[in-house]
């Protein structure tokens, strides 16, 4: 029997408590150090890491380039385990100190955009691609985009944290978030029984937002042993959709950008031109 936790009247921060990422979590915002961000030659400067939220945006850029749009970008690595997101330059673009963050220099004035969903919308509207301009199709796409933005914290910060990163395995939170993750996968599975892509017949920013989280989960790339634990094989429609998006050349490239772990052939910590992929798998 463990001793039940009794919350104090006033919570105080214990820096030693928090699991694998305790060293980069804190209850206050703002910069911890001065650091100017680098800038490249292209109109779009992306500061990110190849986590699911980061991959959404690099897939979008690579899809735009694949479609022939003038969407060249520089992608700079932000190593969150080292606290790069708390540098003064990064905080100027994203006061929330989370990746990804984008600086759009294509217009008369620089525009900062943070939150991955906002970046996808900004780029989609700027280039008129992967988001219908009006009508029911636009509403459907945005509904699924915001579904992902609201749902993923239960998958990542909830299930992922307690299943993979918490300092000890606790039955209640693992069961709670496993149940919610499976419910979300069932939502997607039922939707994808009706349509080839999340928002309907056309590939969209909704797919780009959802695939790095839920597609990677059913492909067995999420938290170690989680695919078996959640029995993801039963979500056959999600698996079909995940495989189709995995096969897209822009997806394969986007997954590599700002990645600095795993197989060397799949890593591209910085991306400054299409030529950077020449030596990759």
- pLDDT of residue 33 exceeding 60: yes
Model confidence pLDDT, tens digit, residues 98-138:
999 999 999 999 999 999 999 999 999 999 999 999 999 99
Q: Whose CA is closest to 178, among 232, 235, 239?
A: 232
Q: Whose CA is closest to 90, among 138, 145, 153, 48?
A: 48
For residue 17, the tally of other CB atoms under 10 A from its CB is 9
Please compute the mean of the pLDDT values over residues 242-271 and round it to a whole number.
Answer: 97
d(CA 117, CA 26) in angstroms, rounded, equals 24
pLDDT at 25: 86
In DSSP terms, 114 is beta-bridged to: 101
pLDDT band at 18, cuts 50/70/90?
A: low
3-state secondary structure of 45: strand
Q: Which run of H or of E encompasses 135?
A: helix 135-153
pTM for this entry: 0.96
d(CA 239, CA 132) in angstroms, rounded, equals 25
pLDDT at 105: 98
3-state secondary structure of 65: helix
Q: What is the chain's length?
A: 281
> Which domains does the chain possess?
44-130+261-277 (3.40.30.10), 135-247 (1.20.1050.10)
Handedness of CA 51, 52, 53, 56 (dihedral sign): positive
- pLDDT of residue 172 exceeding 70: yes
3-state secondary structure of 4: coil
**What does the DSSP assignment read for 179-240?**
HHHHHHHHHHHHHHTT-SBTTBSS--HHHHHHIIIIIHHHTT-SSTTHHHHTTGGG-HHHHH
């Amino acid at each position: 029997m463990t001793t039940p936790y009794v919350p104090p009247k006033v919570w105080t921060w214990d820096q030693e408590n928090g699991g694998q990422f305790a060293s980069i979590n804190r209850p206050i915002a703002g910069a911890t150090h001065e650091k100017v961000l680098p800038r490249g030659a292209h109109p779009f400067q992306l500061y990110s890491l190849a986590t699911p939220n980061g991959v959404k945006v690099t897939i979008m850029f690579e899809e735009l380039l694949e479609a022939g749009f003038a969407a060249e970008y520089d992608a700079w690595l932000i190593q969150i385990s080292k606290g790069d997101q708390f540098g003064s330059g990064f905080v100027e673009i994203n006061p929330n100190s989370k990746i990804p963050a984008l600086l759009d220099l294509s217009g008369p004035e620089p525009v900062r955009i943070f939150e991955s969903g906002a970046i996808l919308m900004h780029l989609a509207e700027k280039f008129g691609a992967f988001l219908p301009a009006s009508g029911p199709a636009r509403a459907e796409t945005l509904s699924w985009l915001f579904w992902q933005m609201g749902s993923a914290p239960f998958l990542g910060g909830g299930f992922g944290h307690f299943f993979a990163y918490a300092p000890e395995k606790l039955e209640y939170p693992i069961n709670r978030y496993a149940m919610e993750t499976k419910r979300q996968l069932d939502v997607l599975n039922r939707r994808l029984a009706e349509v080839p892509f999340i928002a309907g017949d056309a590939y969209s920013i909704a797919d780009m937002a959802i695939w790095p989280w839920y597609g990677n989960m059913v492909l067995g790339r999420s938290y170690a042993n989680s695919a078996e634990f959640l029995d993801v094989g039963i979500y056959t429609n999600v698996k079909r959709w995940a495989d189709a998006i995995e096969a897209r050349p822009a997806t394969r490239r986007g997954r590599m950008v700002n990645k600095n772990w795993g197989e060397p052939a799949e890593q591209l910590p910085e991306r400054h031109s299409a030529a950077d992929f020449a030596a990759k798998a």
